C-alpha cells in the first residue's frame, strides 16, 4: 500500500475520533497555560529543606508537598479532622488559596485518555495514536514529494483552497502532530502495562528511634542540597508512627530518609523508561512548558482543518475519477495500456485512447503502471506516464521501473507517451526513464518517445495520428478535456488595438463573482490566481476551453487578458466580440513553473506581441521594486504596442527598471532577439548576478530568444539549459 493510500484511508477512517482527540487536546493544552499564569514559582536558591520548614511553620498539619507541572506548590494535610489542600507560596510558606481541581478538566482528560470507556477506551486511544502517527508520517512524505523536496518546502502552494489549506497547515503542524502521536503511544504503553516504569518494589525500610529524637527536615543535608525546582513530591513522616520515614521524589529518582538521623536509607534512580516518560508527558501535554503547550493547542485545533480539507479533496477527486468502460481481462487483451498519474488528470487521455482502440476492434486492458506485465495474447503495449515532483514517478508507480527491469524481454512493441510541463528541468523525466528501461531490456519500440506539454489536446491528437500509422488502422483519438466548474466573468472595459488588417487585438478586463469561504473550500467559483497563470475560456456551444495568460492577479481585483482575433477562431471571435456588460465562462489553470511570486533577484522579461500580457502582470505587482527589465517586440508601435500607457507609468513608478523595444514593420526595425544582442553586455552582468528570465510569445520567437541568449551567455560558460535546470529560466509559449 502506498503512503498516499495510507494517508487517505486512515485519515478518513480515523478522522472522527481524531477530531475528538484533537479538540480535547486543545483544551488540555490550554490548561497548563492557565495554571502557569497563577503559579508562584520557586526562587533559584530555594532548597527543599527550607521549603519544608516554611510550609510546616505555616501549615502545622502538612503531610505532603507536591510540585505541579505548572510550577505551583500544593500542600496536603489536616486541620484537626478536616483534610485540606492549599496552594502555598514557596517564598514564605504561607497559604495562598484552596486547591480544588475543576471537574471539567478531569472529565476532558478521561475522555482524551480513554474515551470514558476504561481499559477498552485506552486500547482505542492507543490505536488512534498509532493511526495519527502513520497519517502524519505519510503526510510528511507526500508533502515533500508535492513540494519537490526539503529545499522547496517553503515554496508557493498551488491548487484549490482545500488543497492549499491542507498543505499550508500540514507543513506547519505535521511534525508536531507526529511527535504528539508517538509520545501518546509511549504513554499508552505504560498505562496499559506494556512498559514498566518503576525500578522495582519499594524497599522495606523504617526509622529506628532508639534514644534519638526526630530531627526537623530543615536539618537534613540531603534536603538542604536539593533544589526545590527539581522536587516532584515530599512526604512528611506521621507524627503518630515513630517508624515512619521521609520520602522525597525528584526527576532523578526517589529516596527514603531516616527521620532521626537524616541519612538516606534507600535510593532508587529513575529508570530510563521513567525519564523517557517524563519527557513524553512534557512533549505531549505541554506541562511545565507553556510555549510548547500553545503550539500543541494550535496543532490540535488544526486537526479540524486538516480533516475537513482532506475530506473535500477526497470527495472532489472521487467525483472527477475516470472509470474505464469495456476493460478486458489481462489474459484476453491484445493491447495493454499502462498508466502512471499522480492527480488523475492523465486518465482522461487514457480513456480516449482506450475507447478509440476498442472502436477499432481491439480487446484492451488498462491498468496502473505498477501492474506492468504481458501475456501470450499481447500484441502491443502503450504506456502513458506523467512525471511528478523533481522527475519522480507518481506515487502508485514508484516501484514500476524495478518491476519492468525484473521481467524477461518482451516481444510486443511498446510506445511510451510522457506528460509534463516544460517549465521544469525534469520535463517528462519519468517517461524517459520508463522508455530507457524498456529499451535496455530489449523491448521493440512501436513509436519513439513523445512528450506532451501541459496536457495539450492538440499534441495528443498528433501522437494519435502517428499511432494510427504505426498500427495501420483508422484510429482517431477523441479527447475531450474535462472542464472544471466555470465562473461567469463580466467584461468591465476593453482597450482596442488595430494591429494588422486581419489581426486586431483587445485587452479585456473582467470582474467575477466573489466567492464565500464555503465556495472556496468546495472548489467552486473562480480560484485564486496570479499573473502568469492561465484562464480557460469556454465559448458558447463548445466544450473545449482555450487558454490565455493572465495579466493580473486576484489581489488586483480584476482579471485581464490580451486577445488577438484569429479568423475562424471560435473562442477568440467570442471574446473579441464582447462589449462591457457581456459575460464569459471561465476557470483558472495554474502555471506554477512560470510564476514570480516571492522572487527577489533581478528579472529579465522577454515578450513579443500578446505575450507581453503576463509580463505586464508581473510588473504591475512589483511592489518591492525588484529590478525588472522588459524586452518587448512587436510589429508597429502605432498599432500593437500593448499596455504602452501602463508600461510608461510603471517606468516612472520604478516598478520597471528599464525598457527595450524592437518593432519589425518600421524602418530599421527587427525582432526582440536583436534587442537582446544589442544589450548583451548588460544582460551578461544581470545573469552573472543571478537574474531570472521569463519568456512569453510564440514558439518560433521562443526558439530565437533561446538561441540569442545562448550566444550571449557563452562567454560566461552558461546556457539556457543550465538556467532552466536551476529554475531561473521559464517560458510560456503558444
Helix residue ranges, H only, 412-473: 429-440, 457-471
Query: For the chain, what is the radius of gyration of the CA atoms?
Result: 36
Q: 191: Cβ–Cβ under 8 A, 6 or more apart, which residues?
A: 113, 122
pLDDT of residue 501: 65
Q: Phi/psi at 116 (nearest 5 deg)?
A: 60, 25
Positions in the chain whose pLDDT score sits under 50 = none
SS3 615: helix
Q: Answer for the pair 75, 86: CB distance below 8 angstroms, yes or no.
A: yes
3-38 helix and 272-285 helix, angle to the nearest 10 degrees: 90
> What one-character-per-residue DSSP string does 198-247 give?
SSSSPP------TT--PPPGGG-HHHHTSBGGGEEEEEPPPTT-TT--EE
All 3 cell numbers of residue 117?
470507556
Q: Which long-range contacts (CB under 8 A, 24 or more apart) does 140-148 make?
A: 140/170, 140/174, 140/175, 140/178, 141/3, 142/3, 142/4, 142/7, 142/395, 143/167, 143/170, 143/171, 143/174, 145/388, 145/389, 145/392, 145/395, 146/389, 147/171, 147/389, 148/389, 148/390
CA-based nearest residue to 336, from 372, 288, 302 = 372
CA atoms within 13 A on the CB side of 532: 23
pLDDT in tens, 4-27: 777 777 777 776 777 777 777 776
The whole-angstrom separation of Cα 193 and Cα 56 is 37
What mean pLDDT, rounded, does the chain reach? Answer: 86
pLDDT in tens, 483-512: 777 889 999 999 999 876 668 999 999 998
3-state secondary structure 539-586: CCCCCCCEEEECCCCHHHCCEEEEEECCCCCHHHHHHHCCCCCCEEEE
pLDDT of residue 577: 93
Q: What totals of helices (H) and strands (E) does the chain contain, helices first?
A: 21, 24
Phi-psi region of 552 (alpha: psi -120 to 50; beta: other; left: phi over 0): beta
Q: Answer for the pair 503, 634: CB distance below 8 angstroms, yes or no.
A: no
The whole-angstrom separation of Cα 52 and Cα 93 is 8
505-512 vs 335-340, strand pairing mode: unpaired
Q: How many CB atoms lie within 10 A of CB 52?
A: 25
Q: 635: Cβ–Cβ under 8 A, 6 or more apart, which residues?
A: 499, 500, 609, 663, 664, 665
Q: 391: Cβ–Cβ under 8 A, 6 or more apart, which residues?
A: 426, 429, 430
The whole-angstrom separation of Cα 679 and Cα 251 is 71
3-state secondary structure 656-693: CCEEEEEECCCCCCCCHHHHHHHCHHHHHHHHHCCCEE
Amino acid at each position: 500500500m502506498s503512503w498516499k493510500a495510507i494517508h487517505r484511508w486512515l485519515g478518513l477512517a480515523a478522522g472522527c475520533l481524531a477530531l475528538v482527540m484533537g479538540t480535547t487536546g486543545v483544551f488540555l493544552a490550554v490548561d497548563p497555560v492557565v495554571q502557569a499564569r497563577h503559579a508562584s514559582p520557586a526562587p533559584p536558591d530555594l532548597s527543599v529543606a527550607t521549603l519544608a520548614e516554611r510550609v510546616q511553620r505555616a501549615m502545622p498539619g502538612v503531610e505532603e508537598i507536591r510540585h505541579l507541572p505548572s510550577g505551583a506548590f500544593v500542600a496536603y494535610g489536616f486541620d484537626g479532622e478536616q483534610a485540606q489542600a492549599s496552594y502555598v507560596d514557596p517564598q514564605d510558606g504561607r497559604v495562598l488559596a484552596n486547591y480544588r481541581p475543576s471537574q471539567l478538566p478531569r472529565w476532558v482528560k478521561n475522555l482524551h485518555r480513554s474515551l470514558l470507556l476504561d481499559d477498552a477506551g485506552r486500547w482505542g486511544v492507543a490505536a488512534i495514536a498509532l493511526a495519527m502517527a502513520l497519517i502524519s508520517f505519510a503526510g510528511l512524505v507526500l508533502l515533500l514529494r508535492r513540494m519537490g523536496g526539503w529545499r522547496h518546502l517553503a515554496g508557493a502552494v498551488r491548487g484549490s483552497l482545500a488543497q492549499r489549506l491542507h498543505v499550508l497547515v500540514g507543513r506547519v503542524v505535521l511534525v508536531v502532530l507526529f511527535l504528539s502521536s508517538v509520545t501518546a503511544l509511549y504513554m499508552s504503553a505504560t498505562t496499559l502495562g506494556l512498559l514498566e516504569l518503576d525500578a522495582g518494589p519499594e524497599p522495606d525500610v523504617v526509622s529506628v528511634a532508639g534514644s534519638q529524637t526526630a530531627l526537623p527536615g530543615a536539618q537534613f543535608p540531603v534536603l538542604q542540597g536539593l533544589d526545590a525546582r527539581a522536587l516532584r513530591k515530599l512526604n512528611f513522616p506521621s507524627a503518630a508512627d515513630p517508624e515512619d520515614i521521609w520520602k522525597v521524589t525528584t526527576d532523578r529518582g526517589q529516596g527514603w530518609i531516616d527521620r532521626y538521623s537524616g541519612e538516606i536509607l534507600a535510593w532508587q534512580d529513575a529508570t530510563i523508561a521513567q525519564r523517557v516518560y517524563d519527557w513524553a508527558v512534557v512533549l505531549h501535554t505541554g506541562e511545565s512548558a507553556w510555549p510548547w503547550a500553545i503550539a500543541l493547542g494550535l496543532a490540535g485545533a488544526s486537526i479540524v482543518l486538516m480533516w475537513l480539507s482532506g475530506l473535500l479533496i477526497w470527495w472532489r477527486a472521487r467525483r472527477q475519477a475516470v472509470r474505464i468502460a469495456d476493460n478486458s481481462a489481462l489474459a484476453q487483451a491484445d493491447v495493454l495500456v499502462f498508466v502512471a498519474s499522480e492527480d488523475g488528470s492523465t486518465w482522461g487521455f487514457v480513456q480516449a485512447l482506450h475507447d478509440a482502440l476498442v472502436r477499432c476492434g481491439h480487446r484492451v486492458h488498462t491498468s496502473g503502471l505498477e501492474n506492468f506485465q504481458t501475456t501470450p495474447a499481447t500484441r502491443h503495449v502503450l504506456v502513458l506516464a506523467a512525471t511528478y515532483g523533481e522527475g519522480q514517478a507518481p506515487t502508485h508507480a514508484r516501484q514500476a521501473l524495478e518491476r519492468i527491469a525484473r521481467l524477461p524481454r518482451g516481444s510486443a512493441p511498446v510506445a511510451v507517451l510522457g506528460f509534463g510541463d516544460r517549465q521544469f528541468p525534469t520535463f517528462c523525466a519519468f517517461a524517459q526513464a520508463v522508455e530507457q528501461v524498456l529499451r535496455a531490456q530489449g523491448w521493440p519500440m512501436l513509436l519513439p518517445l513523445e512528450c506532451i506539454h501541459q496536457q495539450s489536446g492538440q499534441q495528443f491528437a498528433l501522437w494519435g495520428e502517428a499511432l494510427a500509422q504505426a498500427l495501420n488502422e483508422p484510429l482517431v483519438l477523441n479527447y475531450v478535456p474535462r472542464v472544471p466548474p466555470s465562473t461567469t466573468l463580466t467584461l468591465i472595459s476593453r482597450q482596442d488595438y488595430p494591429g494588422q488588417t486581419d489581426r486586431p487585438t483587445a485587452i479585456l478586463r473582467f470582474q467575477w463573482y466573489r466567492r464565500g469561504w464555503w465556495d472556496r473550500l468546495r472548489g467552486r467559483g473562480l480560484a485564486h490566481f496570479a499573473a502568469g497563470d492561465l484562464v480557460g475560456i469556454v465559448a458558447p456551444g463548445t466544450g473545449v476551453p482555450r487558454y490565455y495568460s493572465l495579466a493580473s492577479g486576484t489581489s488586483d481585483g480584476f482579471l485581464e487578458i490580451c486577445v488577438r482575433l484569429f479568423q475562424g477562431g471560435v473562442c477568440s471571435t467570442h471574446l473579441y466580440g464582447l462589449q462591457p456588460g457581456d459575460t464569459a465562462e471561465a476557470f483558472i489553470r495554474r502555471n506554477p513553473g512560470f510564476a514570480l511570486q516571492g522572487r527577489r533577484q533581478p528579472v529579465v522579461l522577454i515578450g513579443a506581441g500578446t505575450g507581453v500580457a503576463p509580463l505586464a502582470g508581473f510588473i504591475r505587482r512589483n511592489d518591492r521594486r525588484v529590478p525588472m527589465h522588459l524586452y518587448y517586440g512587436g510589429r508597429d508601435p502605432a498599432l500593437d504596442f500593448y499596455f504602452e500607457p501602463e508600461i510608461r507609468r510603471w517606468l516612472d513608478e520604478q516598478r520597471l527598471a528599464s525598457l527595450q523595444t524592437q518593432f519589425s514593420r518600421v524602418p530599421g526595425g527587427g525582432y526582440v532577439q536583436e534587442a537582446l544582442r544589442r544589450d548583451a553586455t548588460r544582460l551578461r552582468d544581470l545573469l552573472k548576478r543571478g537574474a531570472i528570465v521569463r519568456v512569453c510569445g510564440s514558439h518560433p520567437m521562443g526558439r530565437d530568444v533561446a538561441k540569442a541568449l545562448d550566444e550571449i551567455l557563452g562567454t560566461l560558460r552558461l546556457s539556457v539549459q543550465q538556467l532552466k535546470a536551476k529554475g531561473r529560466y521559464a517560458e510560456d509559449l503558444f
